[in-house]
Structure 1
């Protein structure tokens, strides 16, 4: 009976993090990625606990099109205003398709047009603190062009009192076809803040294994810290995981919302993440961020960035 009780007490403790995924950082600087459509579709009450000082809400939905113009969606005015009144920092995530990115980075006129579009966008939306560029899927041969873009863009944003932030892939023990495009930026201080995407250590591109590991993230933070100051760095963590089932070559995505109870019951905590590994499956999911928050504080980085709210 005692063993039974202790087991369920431990489950309850773990699930307390799941039920309030960001509760462990209640008073710490936190970066939250959200879907732009969720800002529109979910009730205001859904967002209340996240609307506070020291929170950055980075929302998707702004796309650079092939003509270098922007297509975007904004948070509802009521939500935006309420967040600002409570000290929330709003930053749109800006992305483009690989083909579009290659064209813009290699055609000077398009590159200039994109910069002008971004600056005009921020003039029209002065409530935003800056922009977050999430540029992925481009060949390493264009990394120099991306670096040049950032060198031109950052001073222009600073003149407007806005910040340039980036999402960066890890450079250690990560698929080269993804990492190499970010290599130049990883080793040159070209942004005001960067989010280290410390996830997909194992993914559909790799053999089965944990989606992230604390020790792996630390290796990459240490490397990034040779270029960027600690207060420029955010540690990006996944609120999702992967599960490889026997007989299937590709994993399915698992989440705290649907899989926390099973992972807490069957998994073991190892290197910052819960892992289930047996003859039937290999699955992993972060169920609490205690070790990760401790790491971020020890190193002195800005805090944790979560991809993404809703998992």
Structure 2
């Protein structure tokens, strides 16, 4: 009886030991994109996302004429609640228009004005961890100007102890029109962190096909780690997909929330994504990210970045 009790006690202690190890394991690094306006909605369970090693990057910031910026504010209770749980809040900024973007990047005066605006922003909102530049839609002729801007911003951000993060288009197997603008900044380390936007391989601007692919993403990660260290890189994957129907010219947008059950049941998994293809429809959607998590571990990069919450 004593021997039995001793054995049980040993098993129980071993169980407790491994349970403690699991409890001590940190939450994996995750980046969530969010629509800025959703931060004020009461029907979204934000608390479920508030964990250690989570970054929430929210839209709404605009870079306008003469380097002036506008933004939205997070409700104070939400900001503080997230920070208390270990969340990094990073506002996203985009150009207000293509014309303003080209003009600003060309002008040293406007670039300096933008830098001053961003430093002033950090003084006003010291709880933000940095900013995210999602600058898209500009021609490849502005690629070098973008590189110059980042060279000017990065030292100032580090002086302010803030992170400069940027979104990057894939440089392999992607349309040159959007990716060309990012060609220079993809080849040299000019930011603290980057998000590889591994989506829209096929989109309303292309023929029907998968919205992303594991092998295509792997090619682009292999290229990107030559310029940025793995711990700087986030892998951006879509929580949406596209569904082409024979009677329509443009595809419908489908999401994890709306279509994962259908895609899991009727689609087939290929190259990390579920595909539903028949005589009248071609749809694609990442139903689960198991293969993508394995890819993150394979490259040793920072984590997955999801576009976006609500999908």
> Under a length normalisation based on structure 2, what TM-score does the superposition of the two structures give?
0.90
1:220-259 to 2 correspondence within 5 Å?
220-259=220-259
Q: For residue 7 of structure 2, what is the aligned residue in structure 1?
A: none
SS for the counterpart of 1:287 is coil
Per-residue CA distance 1:231-271 (angstroms, 9 max, x = gap): 00000000000001013221111011111121112100111
Work out the CA distance in 1 between the residues paired with 2:58 and 2:110: 25
Work out the CA distance in 1 between the residues paired with 2:230 and 2:145: 26
Per-residue CA distance 1:82-133 (angstroms, 9 max, x = gap): 0001100110011012111011111221111111101110111010111100
Task: Note if 1:269 corresponds to 2:269.
Answer: yes
- The structure with higher relative contact order (CA 8 Å, sep 6+) is 1
Q: For residue 46 of structure 1, what is the aligned residue in structure 2?
A: 45
Work out the CA distance in 2 between the residues paired with 1:98 and 1:262: 38
- How far apart are residue 74 of structure 1 and its match? 1.4
SS for the counterpart of 2:276 is strand
- How far apart are residue 27 of structure 1 and its match? 2.3
Q: For residue 203 of structure 1, what is the aligned residue in structure 2?
A: 203
Large movers: runs of 4+ above 2 Å: none
Q: For residue 28 of structure 1, what is the aligned residue in structure 2?
A: 28
Work out the CA distance in 2 between the residues paired with 1:148 and 1:109: 13
Work out the CA distance in 2 between the residues paired with 1:84 and 1:27: 15
Work out the CA distance in 2 between the residues paired with 1:67 and 1:111: 8
Point out where structure 1 has 5 or more consecutive residues left out of the alignment.
Answer: 1-25
Work out the CA distance in 2 between the residues paired with 1:119 and 1:241: 37
Work out the CA distance in 2 between the residues paired with 1:210 and 1:234: 21
1:105-124 to 2 correspondence within 5 Å?
105-124=105-124
Task: Note if 1:81 corresponds to 2:80.
Answer: yes
Work out the CA distance in 1 between the residues paired with 2:42 and 2:112: 37
Q: For residue 95 of structure 1, what is the aligned residue in structure 2?
A: 94
SS for the counterpart of 1:52 is coil
Higher Cα radius of gyration: 2
Q: For residue 290 of structure 2, what is the aligned residue in structure 1?
A: 290
- Give the paired residue count: 286
Per-residue CA distance 1:182-223 (angstroms, 9 max, x = gap): 000000100010000000011111110000001111110110
Work out the CA distance in 2 between the residues paired with 1:199 and 1:42: 29
Q: For residue 58 of structure 1, what is the aligned residue in structure 2?
A: 57
Task: Note if 1:131 corresponds to 2:148.
Answer: no
SS for the counterpart of 1:167 is strand
Work out the CA distance in 1 between the residues paired with 2:202 and 2:42: 31
- How far apart are residue 39 of structure 1 and its match? 0.4
Work out the CA distance in 2 between the residues paired with 1:135 and 1:270: 31
> Under a length normalisation based on structure 1, what TM-score does the superposition of the two structures give?
0.90
- How far apart are residue 65 of structure 1 and its match? 1.5
Q: For residue 20 of structure 1, what is the aligned residue in structure 2?
A: none
Point out where structure 2 has 5 or more consecutive residues left out of the alignment.
Answer: 1-25
Work out the CA distance in 1 between the residues paired with 2:269 and 2:111: 46
- How far apart are residue 67 of structure 1 and its match? 3.2
1:140-151 to 2 correspondence within 5 Å?
140-151=140-151
